[in-house]
Amino acid sequence: MISVQRFLAALSAAVISLALIVVGPIIQAVPSFAATAGSAPCLSTVTDSSTVSVVYSSSQSKCYVIFKSGSNAWTAPSTVTSVDILVIAGGGAGGSGAWGGGGGAGGVVLDNTYTTTPSTSYSLTIGTGGTPGTSTLDNALNRSTNGADSWFGSNSTLVAKGGGAGASYAWGKTPITDCNGANGGSGGGATECNNAGNTNTGGTSTQTLPTGATIKYGNSGGGTPTANYSSGAGGGGSGAAGSAVTTIGTGANGGDGTQDLTSWITAFATGMSGVSGWSAATSNGRIAAGGGGAAGPTRGAPGLGGGGYGGDSTNGINGVDGVTNTGSGGGGGSYNGNTGTGGSGGSGLIVLRYTAAVATAVSIGLAGGVSIATYRAPIAITATLTGGNGKVRFYQDGKVIPGCQSITSSGLSATCMWRPASKRFITLTAELVASGAVLGSKSIPITVSIGSRSGKRS
């Protein structure tokens, strides 16, 4: 009986151990590995610093943290309770096969009042650009894809919607809706189609204004006539709708990107220096443009801000890719006896902006390092700063010393000429006044003994 009980006890223990082995990894928290990007006053903690750039704008006293690809997380610094957030989704690909429509730009969302909790981590994802369909006239195979969403916080809070794909070749095919540009952040352009009774329309914008966000950007793609025009329409841009086809053999232009973000683009542009084509594409202050439509002899131009040209028989039948990190649409693919492919959509971007905080410290001392001064004899008090320059106030027993209420420091040093007016122990302090990114700070008080003059006054 005892041996049976021992056997059952051992079996029970083994079962429990096995359960722990099986269940343990399922409930185990995934470790978070922190990395740092940038430097003071904009040092940022992220999970992957390889895709992050940080820019400090001294003229604005602002930090710009730029996330360029993939999924990441950002930890709010200890002094930051609010950030401005720019979110741009991936652009749609241009249509493939023949006479493809231009891809639509990714949606753009700006939030100028996003509340953060210091030392809290926030997840984010940058949307990829859409992928073009295969170079075939078979509409079951040549469909291009929308760009992917970009988001901050979660995929249901601050979200920019991926741009709509341009329509690929679908002449006389079913479903006739294949002739229409895809809906998205900005809609894709339509392709040529001669299906009776069907209007070939550009995709519409599906970008909504997230709760608490300041503004959104997104427009429709262009349409095409129900006739043999051998041309694709332009994809919508964040600043303007894509153009419709109006001339046989001429692709329509993509819509321009918004110009409302010029100050942002100018401020963080140095952080994008390693991204091919980005500076040229955004030099006009625009971003997130639509791709141009394809045609036989004359391709459609991209919208300003990073869109791709459509293909044509002169410059190449394949559409041009949207510029990386602009969220712009790719150009449509053309045909010259061979089928072309659309251009890929440009990937999205997320940029955080917040007021920089430069930590400072102040120390104080008398000229020559002495701790004794002479009654009514002028002597220099020097405040030595760390962290940043600014206006310095000097105090005697807690009251501002006349003439020393606002001394501008230079080279992290400020000097006050002081003439002691009484014979006693006096406490001196100095204060760096907070300004812009520079945080204020006070020195540790020093006590000075004031003695009589050694001789008569002349």
Whether residue 16 is predicted with pLDDT greater than 70 in this model: the reply is no
pLDDT cut 70: percent of the chain above it: 91
Task: Give the chain's domain count.
Answer: 2
pLDDT in tens, 307-351: 999 999 999 999 999 999 999 999 999 999 999 999 999 999 999
Shared domain check, 270 and 146: yes
Are the C-beta atoms of residues 289 and 329 closer than 8 Å to each other?
Answer: yes
Mean pLDDT of all residues in 193-206? 86
For 367, the domain range is 361-451
Q: Which pLDDT band holds residue 196 (cuts at 50, 70, 90)?
A: low
Residue 173 pLDDT = 85
Q: How confident is the model at residue 442 (pLDDT cuts 50, 70, 90)?
A: very high
Contact present, 219 and 240 (Cβ < 8 Å): yes
Q: Using 50, 70 and 90 to split pLDDT, how confident is the model at 456? A: low
- Kindly state whether residue 9 falls inside one of the protein's structural domains: no
Amino acid 7: pLDDT: 41
- Segment 146-150 shows an average pLDDT of 99
| Same domain? 396 vs 428 | yes
The CATH number that applies at residue 388 is 2.60.40.10
Same domain, 365 and 341: no
Chosen domain end from 356, 382, 411: 356
CA distance 67 to 64: 10
3-class secondary structure, 145: coil
Q: Which residue has the higher pLDDT, 78 or 190?
A: 190
Q: Quick check: 199 pLDDT over 90? A: no
Query: Which of 328, 356, 384 is where one domain is finished?
Result: 356
Mean pLDDT of the chain: 91
Backbone angles phi, psi at 393, to 5 degrees: -110, 140
**Secondary structure of 46-107 in the HEC alphabet?**
ECCHHHEEEEEECCCCEEEEEECCCEEEEECCCCCCEEEEEEECCCCCCCCECCCCCCCCCC
What is the pLDDT, as a whole number, of residue 33? 60
Residues 343 and 375 in one domain: no
Sort 374 into a burial class: Cβ within 10 Å, 0-12 / 13-18 / 19+. Answer: middle
Q: Looking at the domain assignment, is residue 12 inside a domain?
A: no
58-99 pLDDT, tens digit each = 888 899 999 999 999 999 999 899 999 999 999 999 999 999
pLDDT of residue 211: 97
Are 371 and 432 contained in the same domain? yes
Asked if residue 384 and residue 335 are part of one domain, the reply reads no
Residues 307 and 333 placed together within one structural domain of the fold: yes
> Which residues 6+ apart lie within 8 Å of 368 measured at CB?
none
pLDDT given for residue 26 in this prediction: 28
Residue 2 maps to a domain: no
Residue 436: pLDDT band with limits 50, 70, 90: confident
Two structure tokens written together for 371: 């701790």
Indicate if 166 and 257 belong to the same structural domain.
yes
Q: Are residues 319 and 375 in the same domain?
A: no
Mean pLDDT, residues 259-270 taken together: 98
At 14 the pLDDT is 43
Res 197: pLDDT = 64
Judge whether residue 176 has pLDDT over 60. Answer: yes
Q: How many residues does the chain have?
A: 458
Is residue 457 domain-resident?
Answer: no
Last residue of one domain, picked from the residues 297, 332, 356: 356
